[in-house]
């Protein structure tokens, strides 16, 4: 679960600036919670949510629901805060020259996202590897890039590709591999027979297109026995 750093800034902080306050030794703190809401947007969304409650037949004035529209408005702004962040800036903020040219793997990165078809959560794990070509990136930046893309309305396939492409574009490594395994509530809550189904997506580039490199990556991300 991620209820770590609570930042209550009034304005959106550019990702690379926000990061300057947080040393890399915070890893594996994968998420910074950004509780930053535009008042006007909160009001607009909250009014719509109230309409939805009434349309569903609820009494929007009963005690348990009085503050629900505003809570939902804030929650959805938090769950989509990735739109305001620049994944490339995050990567560029911690690039280092390094001759290391073996696979670097960050596995079991928690992913929480919203499917864009139902606005319901999908969640699971991401595994990201790359083979450097003269540049490495601070390890904590990889989960942050995953989060920036996950905190948007998504489909799992596009999320996987966007993570690969951002790392490929900025680091220009010899190859990038991304695998995401996730469960989708829009499937699980609506079909009793699908409650244990996991969806796996993958995106590879460069060296990972070679069978041997890909096989090594897949072996490394296999769950520990």
User: Which are the catalytic amino acids?
Assistant: 115-118, 156, 184, 186
Between residues 101 and 199, which has the closer beta carbon with respect to Zn ion? Answer: 199
Please, what is the minimum distance in Å from the beta carbon of residue 47 to Zn ion? 25
CB of 159 to Zn ion, least distance (A): 13
Q: What tokens appear for 202 in the block?
A: 């993958």
The residues binding Zn ion (CB under 5 A) are: 115, 117-118, 186
Return d(Cα 106, Cα 138) in angstroms, integer: 11
Residue with tokens 């890399």: 24
Q: How far apart are CA 93 and CA 138, in angstroms?
A: 9
Which residue, 115 or 182, is less far from Zn ion as judged by CB? 115
Closest CA to 36 of 63, 67, 15: 15
* Min separation Cβ 115 and Zn ion, Å: 3
For residues 161-192, one letter each, b for 16 or more C-beta atoms within 10 angstroms of the residue's C-beta and e for the rest, the string is bbbbbbbbebbebbbbbbbbbbbbebbbeeee
Q: Which is nearer to Zn ion, 80 or 133 (CB)?
A: 80
Residue nearest to Zn ion (CB): 186
Give the DSSP letter of residue 10: S
Distance of closest approach, residue 198 Cβ to Zn ion, in angstroms: 15
Rounded CA separation 91/164 (Å): 12
Nearer to Zn ion, 115 or 177 (CB): 115
């Amino acid at each position: 679960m991620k209820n770590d750093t609570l930042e209550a800034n009034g304005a959106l902080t550019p990702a690379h600036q926000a990061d300057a306050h947080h040393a890399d030794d915070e890893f594996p703190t994968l998420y910074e919670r950004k509780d930053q809401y535009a008042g006007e947007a909160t009001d607009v969304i909250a009014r719509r949510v109230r309409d939805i409650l009434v349309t569903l037949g609820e009494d929007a004035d009963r005690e348990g629901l009085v503050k629900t529209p505003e809570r939902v408005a804030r929650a959805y702004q938090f769950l989509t805060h990735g739109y305001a962040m620049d994944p490339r800036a995050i990567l560029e903020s911690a690039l280092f020259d390094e001759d290391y040219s073996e696979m670097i793997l960050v596995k079991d990165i928690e992913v929480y996202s919203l499917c864009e078809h139902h606005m319901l959560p999908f969640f699971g794990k991401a595994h990201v590897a790359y083979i450097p070509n003269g540049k490495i990136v601070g390890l904590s930046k990889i989960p942050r890039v995953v989060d920036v893309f996950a905190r948007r309305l998504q489909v799992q396939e596009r999320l996987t590709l966007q993570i690969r492409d951002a790392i490929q574009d900025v680091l220009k490594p010899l190859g990038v591999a991304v695998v995401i395994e996730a469960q989708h509530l829009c499937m699980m809550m609506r079909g009793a027979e699908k409650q244990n189904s996991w969806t796996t997506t993958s995106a590879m580039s460069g060296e990972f297109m070679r069978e041997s490199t890909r096989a090594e990556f897949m072996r490394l991300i296999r769950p520990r026995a």
